[in-house]
Amino acid sequence: MIHNDVIAANSSRAVVYNYLVWYDKEKEQFVSYTGNPTFGTAKLHFYAKNNIFDPNALPNQSAVAAGILADAGIATFLLKDDATGTYTIYTLNQFREQQGYWNEDYTEYTETSPEVPATAGNRYAIPASGKSLLDNAVSVFFLQNVNLLFVTTDNGIYTITYGIGDTAVVSTTPKYTAAAGETITKAKLYQQGDATNDMSIILPSGSEPPYRKTLPWHNKAVIVSTQKSESEGKVYVIPITQTGIGTLDPSKALAYDGFGKVLDVITIGY
């Protein structure tokens, strides 16, 4: 069963495998929905352990956030230990089917890459400074294709980087601070509307239907909602100027006001 509605999902029709990944709290393990439903090959897959951790033996955890690469190659989860209250980032290497091609008369098959099983990846502990931020977070999300976790509290946005060693690095200096009198209520990665429909049609040079041209701020901006009062809400779209460390540039932000209470924000259309 999916815990806390946290899933790592890929919408690309070009990715035949690894549509969904989640943490099953009852079974204490990670699960992947893998295959092509159209051809009847879709089924649940599980992950083999490595010398770092066992994806099938993670008791007493709560799912906090998840992300997946655009090519669905790696899924990433932030889990909280129910007993200790500590946080850990886990990465999972996704299943890859065998690749190859047939000759012209289909009498000989050449394998170009073998099947890659789904396995545990790496594990990164969040230090105490990160736990303090996460305990007070209103939103937590991963940046796609970059080893960066955004942590949003009611007054600022912070980042946690991972990928080197076994401990994540916390930036306790906010990348963004709420304007005077405003309280941050939510933040999420900006992705253009088609990303939730089929990200495979979003291309840098896409110009003819059904392809869409990649918008400049796709995966490179953060949507932030704030409240000045219960009946005075605002929405900002703030560009990320340095994706590697999550630097935000409020001077170039787009601001939208006139809202009452902002419950959520989504992108639609193009």
The whole-number pLDDT of residue 15 equals 65
| Residue 71 in domain | yes
The whole-number pLDDT of residue 159 equals 98
Mean of pLDDT values over 33-50: 77
The whole-number pLDDT of residue 16 equals 62
| Residue 11 in domain | yes
Phi and psi (nearest 5°) for 190?
Answer: -80, 125
| Residue 265 in domain | no
* pTM of this prediction exceeds 0.85: yes
**182-206 pLDDT, tens digit each:** 999 999 999 887 777 776 777 766 5
Q: Mind giving me the DSSP string for 88-132?
A: EEEEEEPPB--EEEE-TTSS-EEEEE--B--EEEEEEE--HHHHH
Residue 263 neighbours by CB under 8 Å, 6+ apart: none
The position carrying tokens 């704030």 is: 226
Q: How many other β-carbons are positioned within 10 Å of the β-carbon of residue 151?
A: 29
Tell which wins on pLDDT, 268 or 125: 125
What is the token pair recorded at 155? Answer: 């007054």
| Residue 107 in domain | no
Per the DSSP assignment, residues forming a β-bridge with 256 are: 235
**248-262 pLDDT, tens digit each:** 999 999 999 999 999
Q: What's the total number of domains in the chain? A: 1
Could you tell me the pLDDT band of residue 123, with boundaries at 50, 70 and 90? Answer: very high
| Residue 87 in domain | yes
The whole-number pLDDT of residue 20 equals 85
| Residue 197 in domain | no
Please classify residue 170 by burial: count the beta carbons closer than 10 Å to its beta carbon, then call 0-12 exposed, 13-18 middle and 19+ buried.
buried
Average pLDDT, the chain: 89
Please classify residue 125 by burial: count the beta carbons closer than 10 Å to its beta carbon, then call 0-12 exposed, 13-18 middle and 19+ buried.
middle
> Collapsing DSSP states into helix, strand and coil, what is residue 185?
strand
Q: Is the confidence at residue 84, as pLDDT, over 70? A: yes
- Tell me which residue range forms the domain holding 22: 1-99+115-125
**46-71 pLDDT, tens digit each:** 999 999 999 999 999 999 999 988 77
User: What does DSSP assign to residue 48?
Assistant: B
Share of the chain above pLDDT 70, in %: 89
Count the residues in the chain: 270
Q: What is the rounded radius of gyration, in angstroms, for the C-alpha atoms of the chain?
A: 20
The whole-number pLDDT of residue 37 equals 61
| Residue 254 in domain | no
| Residue 244 in domain | no
Could you tell me the pLDDT band of residue 115, with boundaries at 50, 70 and 90? Answer: confident
Could you tell me the pLDDT band of residue 169, with boundaries at 50, 70 and 90? Answer: very high
User: What does DSSP assign to residue 133?
Assistant: H
